Homo-oligomer: A and B are copies of this chain.
Amino acid sequence: MPILRKRLLVDEWVIIAPERADRPQQFETSTISQRSICPFCPQGAELTPPTISSWQSPAYPEEQWAVRAIPNKFPALRVEESPDTGDDPLYQTRSGLGAHEVIIEAPSHHKNWEELSPQHLRVVLESWRDRMTDLSGDERLRCAVVFKNQGPLAGATLEHVHSQLVALPRVPSKLQRELDGANQYHLDHDRCAICDMIARERQSGERIVIENEGAIAIAPYGSRMPFELWILPMDHHGDFMASGESLLQKVAQLVADVLPLCTKAIGSRAHNLILHTLPFDLVGEPYYHWHLQLLPRTGRIAGFEWGSDIFINATPSEVAAHHLRNLVP
């Protein structure tokens, strides 16, 4: 049974999920699981839990499913848990209530998003939207974190292209701080900070990688690491769940255009890609702007970063953006 424990002194929580390990001395060793049958390929379907939802796609007209969502076989959180609260001021706990799903992003054994067409990537984004929308109907859940772990150095353990969704009964402290900052900026300026950022970047152009009529890829001013990229809807959209096909197609096209530039610039690197959007119960709020954050693993997180949350980045974002723009075909 997973359980949440609060860390001492800070409002940060840890999910203790002993069933995700066999024995305490066995740990990930940076390798992708090697099996004779890939559990995410159609012929491996018996190895996975049953499908929650599936989606069709123009890219795979003959297949039973083009994208499918399944429960994580080793869930960090479970919908079967009931909410509760420990009252120990020193050692606070919560039940492991939540959801942990895997989105298998294609029936073919592709290994990353660069191998998927923009049309199909749109379906992947639609699957995220639809799973979030479904889970947002559970009143016990407050938000979802959707993310990709690409490559073993970024935490992937299976090669077949997939993403994950974790829905939580509380807003994680990291997202809460971001929401608080966005809200404060909106209170101070009566504008969305991210809209203001996009406008500013479009004036100078120096940190823009590419844009299309609906989406833009920016190396953010305060990049934590070389080639960190944010991919944003050009217009103001706070709630990812409200995204229509047209917007998601433009975002998917931008993703399909920008990923090969990154690979040309820094090689086929492990990376994480994380969706940032409003919690379920704040979808009407005007101060946030959903976006994707792409975090390539160009270095290590060292003791200074662990101790301070201050990242040291030797590649200013305008240098990275310039480099990427020069690679546009």
Contacts and interface: CB of A to CB of B under 8 A. Distances in A.
Nearest to A19: B314
Interface residues of A, number: 91
Contacts of A222: 5-8, 12-14, 91
A142 to B, nearest CB: 12
A276 B275 CA distance: 32
B25 A221 contact: no
Contacts of A266: 25, 27
A141 interface: no
A155 interface: yes
B300 A154 contact: yes
Assembly of this chain: how many copies? 2
A70 interface: no
A177 interface: yes
Contact of A323 (B24, B185, B275, B301): B24
A241 interface: no
A109 interface: no
B182 A312 contact: no
B173 A309 contact: yes
Contacts of A175: 307-308
A28 B313 contact: no
Nearest to A269: B27
22 contacts: A5-B222, A6-B222, A7-B224, A8-B181, A8-B197, A9-B185, A10-B177, A10-B181, A14-B224, A14-B313, A15-B310, A15-B311, A17-B313, A24-B315, A25-B323, A28-B298, A91-B200, A147-B304, A164-B303, A166-B304, A275-B307, A293-B306
